[in-house]
Amino acid sequence: MNIVVLVKQVPDSGAERQLTADGTIDRENATRVINEMDEYAIEEGLRLADTTGGEVTLVTMGPDEATESIRKALSMGAHKALHVLDPALHGSCALATSRVLAQALQTINPDIIICGAESTDGRVGALPAMLAERLNITALTGARKLTVEDGSATIERQLDDGYQVVQGSLPAIVSVWDTINEPRYPSFRGIMQAKSKPVTTLSLADLNVDPSTVGSAGASTEVVQHAPRPPRQAGVKIVDEGDAGDKLVEFLLAEKLV
């Protein structure tokens, strides 16, 4: 089985993130990590490869620094990677990203594509559906469990009052939440092996993608204004001297919380 896992390098959500002058996230000066949800997608792809005898190919789109995340994902056990690298990609929106990734995926012809349900830098969560539409394949989103057999994929999707079972034929794209598994840690052997695993680099020209349709120039959305987060104000301490209830009500009214 030909298994593809989409991987994205993002700024660490646990660190302070800054914006550039054009309103995009400053990725160059940020602490960079694999998107958290993608680690669960990698693990699910590896488990599927173990049961089907398949091979896992990582696909990412990003700057040179994205190689760091590729190598970490390869050290977890993936077999090879494809990196779409082009300076014109800076500032691409989700729609443009789906255009580029769809072209890249067609060079691989995967049976199944697994990705995180959303990325921590954008939280759009629409990319899986966009890719399914462009590739004309099944979309199974928000999986907490995945089963693949007899040419079809079945997922369980968490609902407020239970769960939903959804099935679709392969090829398919499956997005997963962090409830689906527990990602493995790279072993020392895996880290060493990752250094020699093949990583193919493709440009927009290689994929026949017009640069004017991606990046800031081709973005379907635009940041028109942004401002730094206001500093957190110190809390108010209320000492109970018999009138704590009144003071609390006064505070809530003053803050327009009631």
Q: Report residue 14's pLDDT band, with 50, 70 and 90 as the boundaries.
A: low
HSE at residue 90, side-chain half, CA atoms within 13 A, is 13
What's the CA gap between 37 and 41, in Å, rounded? 7
Residue indicated by tokens 């995945």? 146
pLDDT of residue 226: 75
Q: What is the mean pLDDT of residues 170-185?
A: 97
| Unique residue bearing structure tokens 């539409």 | 133
177 vs 227, more confident: 177
Among 72, 8, 61, residue whose Cα is nearest residue 202? 61
Q: Pick 105 or 225 by higher pLDDT.
A: 105
pLDDT of residue 4: 98
Lowest mean pLDDT among 65-69, 97-101, 235-239, 242-246: 235-239
For the chain, percent of residues with pLDDT exceeding 90 = 69
Report the C-alpha gap between 119 and 127 in whole angstroms. Answer: 10
pLDDT at 191 over 70: yes
How far out from the chain centre does Cα 87 lie? 20
70 pLDDT more than 70 = yes
CATH number of 2-213: 3.40.50.620
Judging by beta carbons within 10 Å of its beta carbon (0-12, 13-18, 19+), is residue 168 exposed, middle or buried?
middle
- pLDDT, mean of residues 157-182: 96
For strand 2-6 and strand 55-61, is the pairing parallel, antiparallel, or unpaired? parallel
Q: Determine which helix (DSSP H) or strand (DSSP E) holds 40, and give its type and residue range.
A: helix 36-52
Q: Is the peptide bond before 171 cis (omega within 30 degrees of 0)?
A: yes
| Mean pLDDT, all residues of the chain | 91
Identify the CA nearest to 127 among candidates 176, 161, 163. Answer: 176
Tokens 């590896």 belong to residue: 46
Query: What pLDDT, on a 0 to 100 scale, did the predictor assign at position 197?
Result: 97
